[in-house]
Amino acid sequence: MKRNWKAVCAGLAVISLLASCAGTSTAGPASQNTAQGVSVVGSSDATQGVSVSPDASQDVSVSSDSTHGVSVMSSAFSTESPAEEIPAAEVPAGPQETLEEVFKNHDAYTDTLSEWNAKAEKRKRSAWALTLTPEQEQSLIDSMNADFKKAVLEKAYEDLKNAEPWDEESLFLKALLDHDLISSDKAEAFLLARALYAKNLERALWEDIQKIVAAEKEKNPDYFPVPENPYTVEEEDSMLYESAVSDEGIMTGAAEASRSSIPEQAAQTQNAAQAKQAAQAPNADQTGYTAPDEHGTQNQDAAPPFNTAEYNVINENPFKSVSSSPLSTFSIDVDTAGYTKLKYDILDGYEIEKDEVKIEEMINYFNYDYSGSRTENEPFTISTEYTRCPWNEKHGLIRIGVLADDMQEKPATNFVIVVDVSGSMMMVNKLPLALSAYADMLEGFDGNDTISLMYYASGQDVILKNVKCDKKEEIFKGLANVLGSAGGGTYGALGLQTAYEMAEKSYAENGVNRVLIATDGDFNIGETSEGDLKGIVEEGRKKGVYLTILGYGSENLKDNKMEVMAENGNGNYHYIGDMADARKALVQESSSTLIPMADDVKIQVEFNPAFVQDYRLIGYESRILNAEDFNNDKVDAGDVGAGKSVTALYEIVPTGEEGETDIPDLKYSRTEATGDSKDLCTVAVRYKDINSGKTGSGSRLVEKAVLADDYHETPDANTALAISLAEAGMVIRDSEFKGTATLTSAEAIARAAASESGNELASSWAELLHTLIEQSE
């Protein structure tokens, strides 16, 4: 005897949905404008739901020259984004304090905020919410790559022609199309929503289609076949159980394909599914969790039931004494994930994890205009500025900027694209977003470039091998085919190993060889430890293959693993929340993300004890090197891409001020001031040419002295923006070194920097801070 199959399908659908859902401030000075305009980066149209993110649509250099800082690659071989241009935040009109006034009045900007997002309206601001409304899902789909969506739709129509006899939705839709009873636009909207895992949009569209089916059934019942149930009672029970315990609780295989309209018995099935899910995860925190309504839509105010995101612990760099440690050495870091992840946590009202706040990644999300300090006959520009420390008036700040040259000619590229298709990626703002981002990136490549495409979940498969990038139709078809392969666990190590093997087989001599992986990092099969993953990427690095990691997700984001892979695999790591983020990393800044200019870039600063007593490097905790590592070419360090700037800040205690360290007198040796030198410090940059591994050549050295007399009471707009980001980061982290730093002063500095430079990104950062201030208490 067969059971009601619709009831079982409804139960599976409910289980899948349940599992997938696994500020008062004190004003500063009277002249401060605390309500200047509407937040652009921190706002969204309530009917659309997609974060308006100028971060990804504008020039990222702090310069009045609007053409400076745009990637050469983006203008040379990238095509225009198919989505509409996203408007940028405007520098607020009206009275605006200058940088000089803001720094002079810094300590007057006071607030007592300590609970971030305490008053936030949860998860309604951006496109990166765990559960989106149908309108938000539609807006996200609208922003995706047009060619990719065309390929997805073609495959959806192909699948529709070969619909299984138990697939009610496909059978009924096919009948409507065969008899011209539905418009192609309505049918295509539904097919796209279903293929792109836009669950709530799919349900809403299907409800509308069901009304057409019901009306036409009365007139022409013979048009509509009766869906068959090929499963026995035992198979149904097995599928119901497996869907409840599968990776992230997401439906896979036939269970996903058998989705149907929710029958009257859905309420009983839903209760049973909830009970079974709770039994499978008795320790899960269900506080604030609200079950889907009769349409399967999750309450947007509800907190997600699980949060398994992981971050490495950050122990902030302490002050060091120049007398005992005159050298400070670190590897450069060009990752930007820290800023983007923080942005979405603010926009969506999430609790901000202390260790997700990586100040160097916040600072280096922005490109800075250091072109005025061009170093002759070197691929780098070294720029420095010595200025005041706003959060401690007795201290100073040294800003160090390194700007890599833009490439003059694009090299041949060999890219292996890897896609995580595990169950946890089956959401419209994960897997489909990742595939659309790859499609956008590949629009700008041609016959001199090759790609391979593979995916992994519990297993793996290769879709394309060494295909020329001018074969766009074949590539987009391959990306669309990946969608239908989703489900299962996450054997990330297997995917990585295979990708490196493929990159080695199709290695481009004198070109760029890179593995790009899109994942939430939730590796749970095979080698999953940070040590194992580090070993895999190190072996790939030794073979001359670079790595780019694109992180997706929120509750289960394994930031710690992705950071380790990026730092040890000659890699960079970016967090993607919407198509604007993807286009910033892979289109507008494609050259700096994908084309390396130098390897193993290290910075060493030697401080002169005649002027500096103590110092502290702000951020870069995971990138600290020993002093002797600087001259050791065997020690790995970060690589920097074409046109990319890297910025670091040092807080210093001038000689004669009360020290931050307590170092005993040295009995046998002591570092003394160097005669009549006026150097505050000397900045040295050591790097390898990207071909040094093939030629056997050693590293090269570039040095620049920072003069003590070259002190600026008011910093330039480049330095001011970096200071604002560092100050806010210390406040959010509740750093012991924050001094008089506040969010309101960080916002004021950002606004002044934006006003002076005309930089929209600085303005968007100020608006993001304003949003956080309003939501905190």
- The answer to whether the Cα torsion of 50, 51, 55, 59 is positive or negative is positive
Residue 50 and residue 126 in contact, taking contact as beta carbons nearer than 8 Å: yes
Length of the chain: 777
pLDDT at 669: 56
pLDDT at 300: 38
Q: 């404008």: which residue's tokens?
A: 33
Q: Which two tokens stand for residue 776?
A: 């905190």
- From CA 760, how far away is CA 763, in angstroms rounded? 5
pLDDT at 279: 34
Is the pTM higher than 0.95?
no
pLDDT at 683: 96
Q: 627-639 burial, b if ≥16 CB within 10 A, otherwise e?
A: eebbeeeeebbbb
How far is C-alpha 772 from the geometric centre of its chain's CA atoms?
19
- From CA 563, how far away is CA 338, in angstroms rounded? 10
- From CA 455, how far away is CA 417, in angstroms rounded? 8
Residue 654 and residue 613 in contact, taking contact as beta carbons nearer than 8 Å: yes
Q: Which two tokens stand for residue 129?
A: 């919410």
Residue 766 and residue 40 in contact, taking contact as beta carbons nearer than 8 Å: no
Q: 């994908």: which residue's tokens?
A: 594
Residue 397 CA: distances (Å) to CA of 285, 369, 715:
44, 19, 10
Closest listed residue to residue 131, CA positions, set 291, 277, 259: 291
- From CA 245, how far away is CA 256, in angstroms rounded? 14
User: What letter does residue 568 receive in the DSSP assignment?
Assistant: H
Q: Give 111-136 pLDDT, tens digit per residue.
A: 999 999 999 988 777 766 667 889 99
Q: 């999953």: which residue's tokens?
A: 528
User: Residue 382 is which amino acid?
Assistant: I
Q: Give 526-539 pLDDT, tens digit per residue.
A: 887 888 899 999 99
For 161, how many CA atoms within 13 A lie in the half-sphere containing its CB? 5
Q: Residues near 396 by Cβ (< 8 Å), separated by ≥ 6?
A: 386, 387, 388, 389, 651, 652, 654, 711
- From CA 693, how far away is CA 545, in angstroms rounded? 11
User: What letter does residue 587 receive in the DSSP assignment?
Assistant: I
Residue 79 and residue 444 in contact, taking contact as beta carbons nearer than 8 Å: yes
pLDDT at 686: 95
What would you report as the CA-atom Rg of the chain, rounded to the nearest whole angstrom?
28
Report the 10 Å Cβ neighbour count for 697.
Answer: 12
User: What letter does residue 422 receive in the DSSP assignment?
Assistant: S
Report the 10 Å Cβ neighbour count for 46.
Answer: 11
Residues of the chain with pLDDT under 70: 1-95, 127-130, 230-307, 373, 375, 555, 664-676, 692-696
Cα angle 395, 398, 402; round to 5: 165
